[in-house]
Amino acid sequence: MAIETAPGTLRVAIVDDEAPARLLLREYLSALPDVEIVAECANGFEAVQAVEDTAPALLLLDIQMPGLSGFEVLELLGREAAVVFVTAYDEFALRAFEVHAVDYLLKPFSRDRLNEALERARQRIGRPREAGLDKVASAARLPGTWPARLVAREGGRVHVIPVDTLDLIEARDDYVCLRSGGRVVRKQQTLTELATQLDPTRFVRIHRSFIVNVAKIARIERYAKDSRLAVLHDGTKVPISRTGFASLRPLL
């Protein structure tokens, strides 16, 4: 994407569901000659599209928003932009830094505090985040809880999939296929990473290439000595390895 901007100018996208918060950020940023506001977004869906359309170097990203949380936006974007989280809730501070955000602004914040965050961002621009998508996703939920949904992006389209509807997750090269009620959605993540995000009492890795929702299993069939298949309610048949069956058996 070729987007022209003045040398040394920091391209920033503002993402906050509250209009007064966006207005304040716009006021502070507009006073800085070396900052360009390239997008203002009222929700996470707009943010994902804005990053694709405008290629900002930095996101000023609220965490608690309707639709998609700030952590879910970051998960969908991968390593495409530096992030400063902006929120009214200090409970998210540690989790923000665990996913290698540049900085964390607690509302209300001063003009000087914002400038400090921008300076940190300039020093970090172009350096990839070290946190994997599993850490980003885990930051989106409270400790000791499991996600009620998964998010995935295909091009400019965002999918939100309730985990209760998941039938099966299949590994394919460097991505997975989420199978839900006859629908298949690709997600750029490894099966190993995704396995850490799901409740192990409900989702079992029954084979190196498959995670299955235990509630979707209709029966187990043998097809050879020490070889088994999980037959789902929709008729799908999935191979079960020995280690997979050992993990699955206590839950049946």
Enumerate residues 6+ apart whose C-beta is below 8 A from 156.
Answer: 48, 49, 52
**Identity of residue 80:** E
Tokens found for residue 192: 């190993």
Given a contact cutoff of 8 angstroms between Cβ atoms, the answer to whether 43 and 17 are in contact is yes
Distance CA 107, CA 96 (A): 15
Which of helix, strand or coil describes residue 87? Answer: strand
- pLDDT by residue for the chain (252 residues), tens digit each? 445 455 689 999 999 999 999 999 999 999 999 999 999 999 999 999 999 899 999 999 999 898 899 989 988 886 567 889 998 887 776 676 666 678 889 899 999 999 999 998 998 886 655 555 555 556 556 667 888 899 998 877 899 999 999 999 999 988 999 999 889 999 988 999 899 889 999 999 999 999 999 999 999 999 877 789 999 999 999 999 999 999 999 998
DSSP secondary-structure letter at 80?
A: S
The domains of the chain, with CATH numbers, are 10-139 (3.40.50.2300), 149-251 (2.40.50.1020)
| Number of Cβ atoms within 10 Å of the Cβ of 121 | 22
Distance CA 136, CA 103 (A): 15
Distance CA 13, CA 8 (A): 16
Kindly report the pTM of this predicted structure.
Answer: 0.78
Determine phi and psi for 5, rounding to 5 degrees. -155, 160
Q: What is the pLDDT of residue 201?
A: 95
Distance CA 68, CA 59 (A): 15
Given a contact cutoff of 8 angstroms between Cβ atoms, the answer to whether 220 and 228 are in contact is yes
Q: What is the pLDDT of residue 132?
A: 53
Locate tokens 């929700």: which residue? 43
Q: What is the pLDDT of residue 180?
A: 95
Q: What is the pLDDT of residue 4?
A: 47
Distance CA 76, CA 205 (A): 23
